[in-house]
Amino acid sequence: MGTYRQTVVDLDASAEEAAAGGERGRGWLESEGFVRPVPWRGEVVYLAGPRWREAVDLVSWDWRARIEGLEEEPGDEVRVVVGRTVFYGGRGDTPSALCPHCRSAAPDWPGEALDAWHTTGAADLDCPVCAHSAPLPEWNWTDDYFAFGHIGFEFDDWPPLHPRFTEAFGRELGHRIRVVSGKI
Ligand SMILES: [Zn+2]
């Protein structure tokens, strides 16, 4: 059991831009028909819209549905997370940080930098191979394990999001995005 969560993270939105960017992104998802608003307990939640199939990779979905027993239609809501967040994939293997400059894997777990970013929203990480220093959000991760950002769009128990969809979403946001996914 557990929830299979995919989060489309905006890598470039600042803390100040986050609220407006989250609204704009959700508005686009709704106007394109990927989600639809549904009243629920005095609030509004966003469930799969009439065009949800165009956002996902249904070939791998068949496979995933078979092995994990998920329903044919995405069952859970799409949430917008606004505010400084370490988004992570939750896979089993410990990920490695990959230098954005030379692509080397950092040999040590960058726990201090992770904590610092979580606390302050700013942290640099030095590459021991090429000596390049870059802000933590610029680093890549094996399996796209982490993303550090201020806006995330969480798709719970949806089929794998199609790259065509996530690229279009990123263009709409006007920013780089990273998709982190895994069981939570
Ligand atoms: Zn490097």
List, for residues 13-52, the tens digit of each pLDDT value: 999 999 999 999 999 999 999 999 999 999 999 999 999 9
- pLDDT of 107 reads 85
Residue 70 scores a pLDDT above 60: no
**Distance in Å, CA 34 to ligand 1 centroid:** 39
- pLDDT of 68 reads 66
**Distance in Å, CA 132 to ligand 1 centroid:** 5
Residue 65 scores a pLDDT above 70: no
**Distance in Å, CA 98 to ligand 1 centroid:** 8
**Distance in Å, CA 26 to ligand 1 centroid:** 36
**Distance in Å, CA 164 to ligand 1 centroid:** 30
pLDDT band at 91 (very low <50, low <70, confident <90, very high): low
| C-alpha torsion sign, points 31, 32, 33, 34 | negative
Longest dimension (CA), the chain: 55
